[in-house]
Amino acid sequence: MIFESLKPQILQIVSSKENTVDERLLDICKLLEKNISYYNWVGFYFRNGNKEELILGPYVGAPTDHTVIPFGKGICGQVAVSNKNFVVPDVSAQDNYIACSITVKAEIVIPVFVDGKNMGQIDIDSNTPNPFTEADERFLEFVCENVATIL
């Protein structure tokens, strides 16, 4: 399975101390987008200090106007409040969805916890309808657990 083959590369990127945190996060985005065919936009959002909003971090994919997302707004904003994974098989069926592109069909957002606190999340958009499985969730949880070690 592709996820198992990517895990050592994730660990290598995270442990690469010669790169800044943002460079390592961008390298993770590039790795995922390049190797998983249905990951069409991969990025990180992080809590903006004590404000109840997320700010866009490193990402790969089409440019987005959504650089600041209030808590509760869209899928990312909902994850900031719920502290739970959110898998959206069909974005058109979501009332509280922020459209980044008309090509996006599905989205998965997994929180990043540092010392038990939700500090951000990885956000992945797919142009493929309903592509995400439990294997994606488990793999992305692994990614987020390792990202947490460098935040």
* Residues shown for the chain: 151
Could you report the per-residue pLDDT of 111-144, keeping only the tens digit for each? Answer: 999 999 999 999 999 999 999 999 999 999 999 9
For the structural domain made of 2-148, what CATH number should be given?
3.30.450.40
Could you report the per-residue pLDDT of 39-56, keeping only the tens digit for each? Answer: 999 999 999 999 999 999
> Would you state the pLDDT for residue 104?
95
What is the pTM for the complete model shown? 0.96
Per DSSP, the residues of 11-54 read HHHHT-TTS-HHHHHHHHHHHHHHHSTT--EEEEEEE-TTSSEE
pLDDT, mean of residues 58-79: 96
Residue ranges of the domains in the chain? 2-148
Are 27 and 57 in contact by the 8 Å Cβ rule? The answer is no
Are 106 and 36 in contact by the 8 Å Cβ rule? The answer is no
> Would you state the pLDDT for residue 98?
77
Residue 7 CA to residue 69 CA, distance in Å, equals 29
